[in-house]
A and B are shown apart, each in its own frame.
Chain A
Amino acid sequence: MNAVEPRAPGEPVRADGPGLPDDGWRRLHPATPLLRGGVVLVAIAVWAAVQLRDVWVTILLGDVLGEVGRVPEDPAARWVFSNVGLALLIVLVVIIGILVIGWLSWRLHSYRVTADVVEEREGIIWRKHRRARLDRIQGVNVERPLLARIFGAARVEISVAGENANIRLYALGSATANALREELLAAASSARAARATEVGTDPGDSVDAARPGVISQRLQELTSPELDSRLSTPDSLVRMDLGRLLGSTALSLALPILMGAAVIVVPVLLTGQWGVVFLVVPGVIGFGAYAIRRVTRSLRYTIAGTEHGIRVGFGLLSTTNETLPAGRIHAIEVTQPLLWRPFGWWSVRINRASRSTRDGAAGQAATTILPVGDTDDVVRVIELIVPGLDLRGALGGAGAASGHAASLDAQVPEYVTSPPRARVFRWWSWRRNGYHLTDEAVLLRKGSVWRTLTIVPFARVQSVALSSGPIARATRLRRVSVHTVMGPIVPSLGAIDVVDAEHLAREAESRTLVAMVSQR
């Protein structure tokens, strides 16, 4: 398992293996304290320098300007001015203290990967020792904030099922991060499949080989979309089109903006008070920031199947690259906002077992697996996630080539839909509201105005519920819920005829059991 043994840059090669004193523990990138807290420090220093400018000027240039003895007005500045020695001493002590703490926290923060677990130790006073089983890894995310990219560093986040149970290693050298990811994913997928996967192609060599010079290496890293272009084997399944990205962002913002505008314009017309207009400024800034963020994040979006799982990449300046080993996706939802329909665009979200509060723009990186794509893209992405799911058949074989609204919402006979009497509850969508069962997954199609298609692989279903309220029972309608791990998607289908609903629940139960047996 430990065939790949990357070492932090600058660290001497050392023996690895159980029983040895240093037992495979590795440290993070030496620039870690600077990357984690350095920016704040520099900002404080700059702020202090600006604030106390008078003092510096007087102390340094007082003689030249002939202003000795002029006491600044600011009380803080006055104090510094009258206690120069003491002030310098305090500054020195603070700087040394910060350096020592930074160095200590770097010294004490280490991680290691053994045959079954990945472990992390950190903390100076409150020590934390976190250990995660390799076969429980839900995904490995390599994130490279802009600052870290300049230093050739990256953040590796190892997702484990649970709320904020992730192991976050920041910062690692790019090559180390890359090798660690390969190692973990190989271990994670082979621990599950119990087969000897070829563990990488020894990226350790590539680290040494790719050393023509630090500058050119950094440049190469900055420009290449992936950390190591050799390892991002297949091409992205979906090519993100700038026009489509801009158009979809604009359209998805159009409705809220129109509503906001209406809220503002009406009072202005009624009262004639133009001052109200300024109330929208924060809103405009917010929408603008959201739009810019969405576009820059999604511009270099990639998705591809690798030998260890699905790899999704985002980001223009700060990049993230997440790899999800097979079977870590619990539910998939394909949605189409109303205004996207003329263009045939959809977006795809997923439920996954690990959650982090630090996930980017509205959790985009974590749960949005395709920000916008046409029907063809959607079909390809879903085939990647649930291999063997005959989606084209399920979608009515509309070929998707038409590129327009057809296919995903086509009136397919295979869907069991609501009976006409459900019209009371599903005014527009009762004809669409339905389910389709395959051997691998259940497909729930809903909504006529806001269209969604929810796909839950049986191998990930936790439980199945059949429920009804008094009105539903009077009309012989039922709701079926398929429970998965918590996430943005809550798979459930209401207003289904009692016979169909019982059939759906029964089939979902038995197919889940079958899927679980083959999973064991």
Chain B
Amino acid sequence: MTEPNPVPADGEWHGVAPSYLWVDLAGQALTLVVSAGATVIAPLASGVAWLWALPAAFVVIFGTSMLLTPRRVRAIGYRLREDDLVFRRGIMWHRQVAVPYGRMQLVDLTQGPIARMLGLAELRFVTAAAATAVTIPGLPRDEAATLRDRLVALAESRRAGL
């Protein structure tokens, strides 16, 4: 099993770029503005005081979540082992997935507007199982591109059907 482009199968956990924090926060802030904005209309129009509870709840929930975001971003990690990729994320809701290279059907590289400003990209791995759902966010663009090329080469050399 010799590959032309050997991967440093170091088994080390790699984190995502710290600046990914801003991408995550911006996404949450946008959701907060939209949901709070939509629920603010009712109390403003009717003047019923307790209707303010809904937008207030959104602010509290998203505020807590945004405070915890730095920890959550630090918890995202991936690890290249000899034959599979391990991805983990989440503190409260922890999830760790191992995907054999040979099972990868395709690797997607996507960039949102804020991520592009920060020079970040995310990699999505698709296997024949929808439940695999592995997306590594917040990778520096060059790292993402190299990683994608390596993984595609690995998947090619270890292809094993469905």
A-to-B contact residues, CB < 8 Å? 161, 330, 353, 460, 462-470, 473, 481, 483-486, 490, 505, 509, 512-513, 516-517, 519-520
Contacts and interface: CB of A to CB of B under 8 A. Distances in A.
Interface of B (DSSP majority class): mixed
Interface of B: 83-84, 92-100, 102-103, 127-132, 134, 158-162
Grouping DSSP codes into helix (H, G, I), strand (E, B) and loop, the A interface class, with mixed when no group exceeds half, is mixed
Contacts, number: 79
B101 to A, nearest CB: 9
A490 B130 CA distance: 11
15 contacts: A462-B127, A462-B132, A463-B99, A463-B100, A463-B103, A464-B97, A467-B95, A481-B131, A483-B127, A483-B132, A484-B129, A505-B96, A513-B84, A516-B103, A520-B158
B132 A463 contact: yes
Contacts of B103: 462-463, 516
Nearest to A491: B131
Contacts of A513: 83-84, 100
Contact of A519 (B95, B96, B99, B161): B161
A477 B6 CA distance: 37
Given A516-B100, A516-B158, A519-B161, A463 B95 contact: no
A466 B129 contact: no
A483 B127 CA distance: 9
Contact of B97 (A463, A470, A490): A463
Nearest to A518: B160
Contacts of B93: 467-470
B2 to A, nearest CB: 14
Contacts of A466: 95-97
Nearest to A351: B129
B104 to A, nearest CB: 9
B160 A520 contact: yes
Contacts of B128: 161, 353, 462, 484-485
Contacts of A484: 128-129
B131 A490 contact: yes
Nearest to A353: B162
Given A161-B128, A484-B129, A516-B158, A467 B83 contact: no
A510 to B, nearest CB: 9
